[in-house]
Amino acid sequence: MFTKVLIAEDFDSINIALIQTLENMGVKEIEHAKYCDDALLKAKKAIQDKAPFDLLISDLSFETDYRTVSLKSGEELIMAIRKIQPEIPVLVYTVEDKSFVIKTLIKDLKVNAFVHKGRNSISQLKTAMETILFGGNFISQNLAHALKDTNFNEIEDYDVEVLTHLAKGVTIEEMELLFKSKDIKPNSKSYIEKRVSKLKDVFKAKTTIHLIALSKDLGII
């Protein structure tokens, strides 16, 4: 079993459960951090002490509060830790189940396991840890299912940019000027219109309003 595990999770209740679970599994050293910045510090220190962690369990979203932080999300934390300790296995334990988000994570961060917080997530967590131990990858069933959504392969950063501006109340005419001033291309009104229209097809949205509502639901914006 793993011997030294770092947990990055903001909710105290979930921390309690994770620690209890890991203790029951026989993990000897368990450290936890409620902020990504703290987690990175702990990882750095462990390397300095020549006793690095052999597993990172991390949440994805962290609540903002009074404290100003430099790492705002699990994604940022994982990138930062992989820079100082490239080979560390990472298990993501998250409520997230938006396929768009997960797709991005797999592609960019190559995490070893995804476990979706849910009714039976603790047993999945145990299985995931054992799988990683033997060099495998683990993805919660529901997440695995979400990855099959074919739609999201077609969506590019440009689309996200357009959708985000629409959601902020920018009209297409304004967007044309905005894109030109920021030197984003293509930027013609008709091209943006066409792009929005294509997105409506992809998402089977009846109106542009509907499209933005769906994008919000899917976690794209």
Partner DNA sequence: TAATTCCGTACGGAAATCCGTAAATGAATA
Partner DNA sequence: TATTCATTTACGGATTTCCGTACGGAATTA
Where on the chain is the footprint of DNA (CB under 7 A)?
171-173, 185-191, 193-194, 196-197, 200, 207-208
Inter-residue contact 96 to 102 (CB < 8 Å): yes
Reduced to 3 DSSP states, what percent helix, strand and coil does the chain have, rounded to the nearest 5? 55, 10, 35
Say what angle helices 74-84 and 36-48 make with each other, to 10 degrees: 10
Give the three-state DSSP class for 192.
helix
- If contact means CB under 5 to 8 A according to the sort of partner, which of its own copies, DNA, none does residue 18 touch? its own copies
Strands (E), the chain: 4-8, 29-33, 55-58, 90-94, 113-116, 138-139
Smallest gap from residue 107 Cβ to DNA (A): 21
> Measured from the CB atom, is 103 or 189 closer to DNA?
189
Residues 50-79 that bind its own copies (CB under 8 A): 63, 65
CB of residue 117 to DNA, shortest distance in Å: 36
The correct pick among 5, 7, 18, 92 for binding its own copies (CB under 8 A) is: 18
Q: Which of 13, 68, 150, 181 binds its own copies (CB under 8 A)?
A: 13
The interface partner of residue 150, options being its own copies, DNA, none and the CB cut-off 5 to 8 Å by kind, is: none
Given DNA, its own copies, none, residue 190, with its beta carbon under 5 to 8 Å by kind, binds: DNA
Residue 185 binding result from its own copies, DNA, none, given CB thresholds of 5 to 8 Å by partner type: DNA
Largest distance between two CA atoms of the chain: 61
Nearest to 162 by CA among 185, 136, 130: 185
- Residue linked to tokens 């990172």: 56
For DNA, which is the closer residue by CB, 194 or 216?
Answer: 194
State the residue for tokens 């097809």: 201
Residues pairing with 55 in the sheet:
5
Residue 16 binding partner per list its own copies, DNA, none, with a CB distance cut-off of 5 to 8 Å that depends on partner kind? its own copies
Cα 67 to Cα 32, 34, 123, 171, 215, distances in angstroms: 18, 12, 33, 35, 30
Q: Which is nearer to DNA, 28 or 182 (CB)?
A: 182
- Cβ proximity to DNA: between 130 and 193 the closer is 193
Q: Which does 64 bind (CB under 5 to 8 A by kind): DNA, its own copies, none?
A: none
**17, burial (CB in 10 Å: exposed 0-12, middle 13-18, buried 19+):** middle
| Closest CB 154 distance from its own copies, rounded Å | 20
Binding site for its own copies (CB under 8 A): 10-18, 20-21, 34, 63, 65, 117-123, 166-171, 205-210, 212-213, 216-217, 221
